[in-house]
């Protein structure tokens, strides 16, 4: 479908992009404007429409479900071609330009359109404020003047948006070199880390200039500043498209490498930077030598949290300096181990081996069933991780999960378990649910919701079948953040369980603060059944309390039929333990066979 293109199209698109408004979130100020337009003109549809190269995108809308349409179908395309007037189509069905338009012949069945161009300072028409009706109608000169005033208001709001965007960008940029500053880098890393556990890795190169203080002391701060500017320029010409350069203070620079990235990419980009900065530079008639030391790290291999990734790269940078400067050292490499030393005694706590085990897929899952105490029917399975060590054989989780926490690997371990468990669970019968343990640190972390959503989408597992178990004895962190993320997780359709209830010091506070669906009684309660009268009464009280809060109870560690009977009499409906089954790989496949 043909449409008019303004004579200043290239300049117009450049101006539109300069406003930094395309694909931004909804804004109540623009929303108010279209609500006013819709109410004033009594039209079911009102829009702030911006015309991009091949689409029309709506910054604000009333009465329309979509956020954009093809430019070839947009009435506003005709409006911006006549920037000095309000374009009015009183009956689209009678207008040869629009009779066959899909927006006329189909939803939203446009019959009437009026659009006033939004004009930038240079006169370019960026889009329109428009009103639309599904019936023909007349639009007089007073109506045109009113719509034009609304378009002028839209332009003022766009100017305000652009100024605020520029201020935010300025706050995130280093005034001397023009690259990101520490604040801007931290934001960029947080965004990148939010995608890491959804499958998009990232990397960091942490570097500083060799002997920079001597340059400042010998040639003066003007030369030093010029050297920093030249360094930033060379870094920007050495990295890949999509990578970000930041100066975080003094002579320290950081490069955030976007997905895809691996150890080889870190080394290649680092080596290219060393070559680019090895040549001396002429500054104010002075020839000044340059040199760098670089440390690298990548996520999720070395970290799943932003601060941990920065620290890993910083440790690698220290190793590079100790190795003799002018070096690139990557976290976890032999060079780093030789100069910095391992984080733990690998003879007794093989943290490095555990990281490799995750990469090499040496971990595997076993599943333990939980049952209806009345009928013994299998209700679901809990995922339990194991490590098949090449020398030591199968290692139980209580021997390496603490190691993961000590080495900063618990996040990677949890992510591996979650994704693998969802992949295996989707092949099981639809009648059972699945419990997966998640470290409490995740709950207050902003990455938990995209992590879980990604695992569900990639596996195809029904969210209603997933239960996330959070250990009660571990601190959750920020109450406000945890509550928000837990509600978001429940909104996905999953359920939340408080695991090992009774082992910590704030059990009742947890039940009060957080929206749990299930409570798992620690096996210590079950082991004391029949031998401790006070323990029996306490167990009954916990089960009764959970019932008042509409929280289901699952008892762990049931080994005898007598224990199961006592729990059932106390009001507990679900249980788990060796009475029915020990953990084993995908037991539902055995049942199916």
- Write out pLDDT tens, residues 529-545: 777 777 788 888 888 88
How far, in Å, CA of 572 to CA of 536, rounded?
13
How far, in Å, CA of 550 to CA of 548, rounded?
5
Which of 323, 350, 352 has its CA nearest to residue 336? 323
Helix%, strand%, coil% for the chain, nearest 5: 45, 20, 35
How far, in Å, CA of 255 to CA of 499, rounded?
41
Task: Determine how β-strand 393-395 pairs with β-strand 378-389.
Answer: antiparallel
Architecture of the domain made up of 9-171: 2-Layer Sandwich (3.30)
Q: Alpha carbon of 118 to those of 48, 148, 187, 251, 479: distances in Å?
A: 9, 8, 32, 45, 45
Cis peptide before 515 (omega within 30 of 0): no
Architecture of the domain made up of 351-592: Alpha-Beta Barrel (3.20)
Query: Could you tell me how many residues make up the chain?
Result: 593
Q: What is the pLDDT of residue 477?
A: 58
Per-residue buried b or exposed e for 116-134, using 16+ beta carbons within 10 Å of the residue's own CB: bbbbbeeebbbbbbbbbbe
**Contact between residue 227 and residue 279 where contact means Cβ atoms under 8 Å apart:** no
Provide the sign of the torsion angle of the four alpha carbons 342, 347, 350, 353, taken in this order: positive
Q: What is the pLDDT of residue 590?
A: 54
Q: What is the pLDDT of residue 390?
A: 82
Q: What is the pLDDT of residue 472?
A: 54
**Contact between residue 293 and residue 315 where contact means Cβ atoms under 8 Å apart:** no
Q: Which residues of the chain have pLDDT under 70?
A: 1, 169, 197-198, 283-288, 325, 333-352, 402-403, 405-408, 441, 444-446, 472-478, 502-509, 590-593
Q: What is the pLDDT of residue 40?
A: 95
**How many Å separate Cα 510 from the centre of its chain?**
26
Is this model's pTM higher than 0.75 or not?
A: no
Q: Where are the domains of the chain?
A: 9-171, 182-340, 351-592
Q: What is the pLDDT of residue 18?
A: 85
**Contact between residue 563 and residue 529 where contact means Cβ atoms under 8 Å apart:** yes
**How many Å separate Cα 77 from the centre of its chain?**
36
Q: What is the pLDDT of residue 502?
A: 65
Q: At what angle do helices 410-425 and 351-360 cross, to 10 degrees?
A: 30
How far, in Å, CA of 309 to CA of 116, rounded?
50
- Three-class DSSP category at 489: helix
Choices 3.30.70.270, 1.10.3720.10, 3.20.20.70, 3.40.50.1100: CATH for 182-340: 3.30.70.270
What are the φ/ψ torsions at residue 482 (nearest 5 degrees)? -65, -45
Bridge partner residues of 364 (DSSP):
386
Torsion of CA 173, 176, 177, 183, to 10 degrees: -30
- Three-class DSSP category at 264: helix
How far, in Å, CA of 487 to CA of 290, rounded?
53
How far, in Å, CA of 83 to CA of 128, rounded?
10
| Structure tokens, 303 | 């970290």
Provide the sign of the torsion angle of the four alpha carbons 96, 98, 102, 107, taken in this order: negative
Q: Do domains 9-171 and 351-592 have the same CATH topology?
A: no
Helices (H), 323-446: 334-340, 351-360, 397-406, 410-425
- Three-class DSSP category at 288: strand
Instruction: Catalogue the E-assigned strands of 52-124.
Output: 55-62, 68-70, 87-89, 112-119
Average pLDDT value over all residues in the chain: 84
């Amino acid at each position: 479908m043909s449409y008019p293109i303004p004579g200043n199209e290239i300049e117009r698109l450049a101006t539109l992009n300069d406003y930094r408004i395309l694909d931004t979130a909804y804004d109540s100020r623009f929303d108010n404007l279209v609500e006013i337009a819709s109410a004033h003109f009594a039209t079911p549809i009102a829009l702030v429409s911006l015309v991009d190269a091949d689409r029309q995108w709506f910054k604000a809308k009333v009465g329309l479900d979509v956020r954009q349409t093809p430019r070839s179908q947009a009435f506003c395309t005709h409006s911006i071609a006549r920037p000095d007037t309000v374009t009015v189509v009183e009956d689209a069905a009678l207008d040869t330009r629009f009779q066959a338009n899909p927006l006329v012949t189909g939803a939203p069945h446009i019959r009437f359109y009026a659009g006033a161009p939004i004009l930038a300072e240079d006169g370019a028409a960026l889009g329109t404020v428009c009103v639309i009706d599904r019936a023909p109608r007349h639009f007089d000169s007073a109506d045109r003047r009113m719509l034009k005033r609304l378009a002028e208001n839209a332009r003022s709001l766009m100017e305000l948006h652009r100024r605020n965007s520029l201020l935010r960008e300025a706050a995130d940029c280093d005034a001397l070199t023009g690259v990101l500053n520490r604040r801007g880098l931290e934001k960029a890393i947080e965004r990148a880390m939010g995608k890491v556990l959804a499958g998009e890795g990232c990397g960091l190169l942490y570097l500083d200039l060799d002997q920079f203080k001597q340059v400042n002391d010998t040639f003066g701060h003007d030369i030093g500043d010029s050297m920093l500017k030249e360094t930033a320029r060379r870094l920007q010409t050495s990295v890949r498209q999509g990578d970000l350069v930041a100066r975080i203070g003094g002579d320290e620079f950081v490069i955030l490498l976007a997905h895809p990235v691996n150890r080889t990419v870190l080394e290649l980009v680092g080596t290219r930077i060393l070559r680019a900065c090895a040549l001396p530079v002429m500054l104010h008639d002075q020839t000044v030598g340059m040199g760098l030391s670089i440390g690298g790290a990548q996520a999720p291999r070395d970290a799943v949290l932003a601060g941990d990734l920065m620290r890993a790269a910083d440790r690698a940078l220290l190793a590079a300096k100790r190795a003799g400067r002018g070096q690139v050292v990557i976290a976890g490499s032999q060079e780093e181990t030789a100069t910095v030393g391992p984080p733990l005694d690998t003879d007794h706590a093989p943290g490095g081996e555990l990281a490799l085990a995750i990469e090499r897929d040496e971990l595997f899952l076993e599943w333990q069933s939980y049952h209806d105490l009345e009928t013994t029917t299998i209700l679901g399975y809990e995922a339990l991780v194991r490590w098949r060590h090449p020398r030591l054989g199968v290692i139980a989780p209580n021997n390496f999960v603490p190691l993961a926490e000590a080495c900063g690997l618990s996040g990677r371990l949890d992510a591996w378990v979650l994704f693998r468990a969802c992949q295996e669970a989707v092949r099981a019968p639809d009648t059972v649910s699945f419990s997966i343990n998640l470290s409490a640190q995740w709950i207050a972390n902003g990455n938990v919701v995209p992590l879980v959503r990604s695992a569900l989408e990639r596996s195809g597992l029904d969210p209603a079948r997933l239960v996330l178990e959070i250990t009660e004895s571990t601190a959750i962190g920020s109450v406000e953040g945890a509550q928000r993320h837990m509600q978001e997780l429940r909104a996905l359709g999953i359920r939340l369980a408080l695991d090992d209830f009774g082992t910590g010091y704030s059990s009742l506070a947890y039940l009060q603060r957080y929206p749990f669906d299930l409570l798992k009684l620690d096996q210590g309660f079950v082991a004391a059944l029949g031998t401790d009268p006070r323990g029996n009464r306490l167990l009954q009280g916990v089960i009764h309390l959970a019932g008042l809060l509409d929280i289901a109870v699952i008892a762990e560690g049931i080994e005898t039929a007598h224990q199961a009977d006592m729990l059932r009499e106390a009001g507990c409906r679900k249980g788990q333990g060796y009475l029915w089954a020990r953990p084993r790989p995908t037991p539902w496949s055995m049942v199916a066979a």
